[in-house]
């Protein structure tokens, strides 16, 4: 198994409990995946902590106390370490070990897994739990590698923190990471330049501390909360307003959006059921958002630059923030509009745009990830007939249910393309996928079979279904990382399954109940 984030840790627990021998390799020096690497200031989850936590063990659920509605990165990292120790999982995880090759022995139907450290393991099953947002994107800006100041990437943040006091700092990127980090850096730095290529939608995070009474209530209602989450569109127990935005009155629109605004987190983009379906519905959300944001930015010309005009709200992952827009009212913060004046090169300690030069002590790249496929593609994965996964996916990822790939028997890619993935609560999604894989393994064993392999026709149908469903929404209209649009040369394909977490759960359960319809079951 590759990766010890939320998916890998639970897969280890589940498959080991089922009597399998499991070895996990993890490139980081600690467990936690995305929460191990992304230690930038202000890093916090945008799904409520009570929901963004494992559901598989009732005692674990009852004994862990979250201190805030939306947990910080350090608290989530403490939680996953707690889980690893509580279930004695550490002994099967080899840290600091990057997997390089995953190669099928076609005769034996076993996977040979090799690591940079020289490990060679032969396994019947190979589970990829790499995380859709784990391959940091370093932009190709001329001169970047020889920047004379301190250079950071939000997804590779130093473990002992960074003190920006008295420093001239630049941040490139205004996605979720940049929008969380910028207010914190602004409070420390002497001067902050934000280099913005695209403006982004962000809603207030709405974080509050949790007291004992709130925790008691959450824990008492956990079973119902989880049930609703598993049926929901995004893996948390919130339902959209029971009416289309285009049919709602002005009062209904205002009240419903205000309620979600106050709730905070990413659910604002799911307030109404048609909000991501038609531009008329989407516009009602965008107008509400715009009036809220314009009201907190002092300088209207700065507001003009911070208001997106190139994509529907929610068609890129909506960001959540703590006083992000108000940060531009500070006199030590300047917004540099890269659309008007692009970065030309980095020269010594300066970022040179087409009309100015910014001398910096530190430069922060908040430039995101080669998402969903980037980490898979870094591995040399070789299936039947010596075909590499990179060749099979050259025009975009091709899976059956996200879980199976034709020509790659018993290889399971968790929470990746072809599944709801980043559109859902990743902890519950990990559990859903791992439980499905564990059931499939049990099915093979009880039927005297050795392997499960997605059939090419099932893959083709699923790829078409994912693409048709996406085309029925506004999601493909943005140049988002969901589409691979942030990485030059990457195929433009909407990668996640857009039909909803609950719907997806039903589909994969039905496939299993029908004897793994669409998969070949290979006898021993």
Which residues of this chain interact with ligand N01, rule CB under 6 A?
Answer: 44-46, 133, 139, 141, 154, 172-178, 180, 197-198, 317, 320, 338, 366-369, 422, 481, 486
The owner of tokens 């980043």 is 422
Burial grade of 157 (CB within 10 A; 0-12, 13-18, 19 or more): buried
Distance CA 238, CA 387 (A): 43
Task: Check: CB of residue 226 under 8 Å from CB of residue 87.
Answer: no
Distance CA 404, CA 399 (A): 6
Shorter beta-carbon distance to ligand N01: residue 154 or 236: 154
Give min distance, CB of 182 to ligand N01, in A: 11
Residues β-bridged to residue 103: 112, 382
Closest residue to bound ligand N01 by CB? 175
Give me the sheet containing 380-382, strands edge to edge. 120-123, 110-115, 99-105, 380-382
Residue 448 makes CB contacts below 8 A (sequence gap 6+) with 523, 524
Give min distance, CB of 107 to ligand N01, in A: 41
Residue 455 makes CB contacts below 8 A (sequence gap 6+) with 400, 406, 518, 519, 520
Give min distance, CB of 174 to ligand N01, in A: 4
Residue 189 makes CB contacts below 8 A (sequence gap 6+) with 164, 165, 166, 167, 168, 169, 332
Shorter beta-carbon distance to ligand N01: residue 293 or 459: 293
Give min distance, CB of 227 to ligand N01, in A: 24
Shorter beta-carbon distance to ligand N01: residue 338 or 522: 338
Give min distance, CB of 488 to ligand N01, in A: 9
The owner of tokens 């910028």 is 182
Give min distance, CB of 125 to ligand N01, in A: 28
Shorter beta-carbon distance to ligand N01: residue 319 or 451: 319
Shorter beta-carbon distance to ligand N01: residue 281 or 422: 422
Give min distance, CB of 32 to ligand N01, in A: 14
Shorter beta-carbon distance to ligand N01: residue 44 or 168: 44
What count of Cα atoms within 13 Å lies in the side-chain half-sphere of residue 517? Answer: 10
Shorter beta-carbon distance to ligand N01: residue 320 or 410: 320
Give min distance, CB of 88 to ligand N01, in A: 29
Shorter beta-carbon distance to ligand N01: residue 210 or 511: 210
Distance CA 356, CA 207 (A): 38
CA distances from 483 to 8, 280, 491 (A): 25, 23, 8
- In Å, how far from its chain's centre is CA 136? 12
């Amino acid at each position: 198994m590759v990766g010890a984030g939320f998916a890998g840790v639970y897969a280890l627990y589940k498959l080991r409990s089922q009597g399998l021998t499991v070895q996990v390799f993890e490139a980081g020096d600690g467990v936690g995946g995305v929460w191990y690497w992304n230690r930038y200031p202000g890093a916090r989850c945008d799904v409520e902590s009570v929901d963004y936590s494992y559901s598989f063990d009732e005692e674990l659920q009852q004994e862990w106390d979250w201190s805030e509605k939306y947990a910080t990165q350090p608290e989530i990292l403490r939680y996953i370490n707690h889980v690893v120790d509580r279930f004695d999982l550490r002994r099967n995880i080899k840290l600091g070990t990057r997997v390089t090759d995953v190669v099928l022995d076609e005769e034996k139907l076993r996977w040979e897994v090799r690591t940079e450290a020289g490990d060679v393991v032969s396994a019947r099953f190979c589970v990829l739990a790499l995380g859709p947002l784990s391959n940091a994107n370093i932009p190709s800006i001329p001169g970047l590698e020889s920047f004379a100041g301190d250079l950071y990437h939000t997804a590779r943040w130093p473990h002992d923190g960074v003190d920006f006091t008295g420093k001239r700092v630049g941040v490139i990127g205004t996605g979720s990471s940049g929008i969380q980090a910028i207010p914190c850096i602004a409070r420390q730095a002497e001067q902050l330049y934000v280099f913005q290529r695209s403006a982004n939608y962000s809603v207030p995070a709405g974080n509050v501390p949790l007291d004992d009474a709130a925790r008691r209530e959450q824990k008492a209602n956990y079973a119902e909360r989880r049930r609703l989450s598993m049926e929901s569109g995004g893996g948390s127990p919130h339902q959209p307003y029971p009416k289309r935005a285009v049919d709602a009155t002005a009062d209904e629109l205002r009240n419903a959006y205000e309620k979600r605004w106050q709730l905070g987190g990413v659910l604002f983009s799911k307030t109404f059921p048609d909000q991501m379906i038609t531009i008329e519905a989407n516009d009602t959300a965008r107008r509400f958002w715009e009036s809220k944001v314009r009201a907190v930015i002092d300088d209207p010309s700065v507001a003009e630059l911070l208001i997106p005009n190139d994509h529907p709200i929610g068609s890129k992952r909506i960001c959540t923030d703590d006083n992000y827009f108000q940060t531009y009212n500070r006199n030590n913060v300047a917004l540099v509009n890269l659309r008007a004046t692009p970065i030309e090169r980095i020269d010594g300690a300066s970022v040179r745009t087409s009309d100015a030069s910014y001398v910096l002590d530190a430069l922060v790249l908040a430039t995101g990830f080669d998402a969903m496929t980037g980490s898979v593609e870094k591995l040399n994965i070789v299936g039947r007939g010596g075909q590499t996964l990179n060749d099979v996916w050259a025009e975009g990822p091709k899976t059956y249910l996200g879980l199976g790939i034709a020509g790659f028997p018993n290889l399971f890619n968790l929470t990746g393309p072809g599944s709801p993935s980043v559109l859902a609560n990743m902890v519950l999604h990990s559990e859903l996928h791992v439980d499905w894989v564990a059931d499939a393994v049990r099915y093979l064993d009880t039927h005297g079979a050795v392997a499960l392999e997605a059939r090419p026709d099932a893959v083709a149908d699923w790829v078409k279904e994912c693409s048709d469903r996406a085309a029925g929404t506004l999601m493909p209209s943005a140049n988002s990382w969901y589409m691979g649009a942030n990485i030059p040369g990457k195929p433009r394909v909407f990668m996640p399954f857009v039909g909803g977490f609950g719907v997806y759960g039903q589909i994969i359960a039905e496939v299993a109940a029908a004897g793994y319809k669409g998969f070949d079951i290979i006898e021993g």
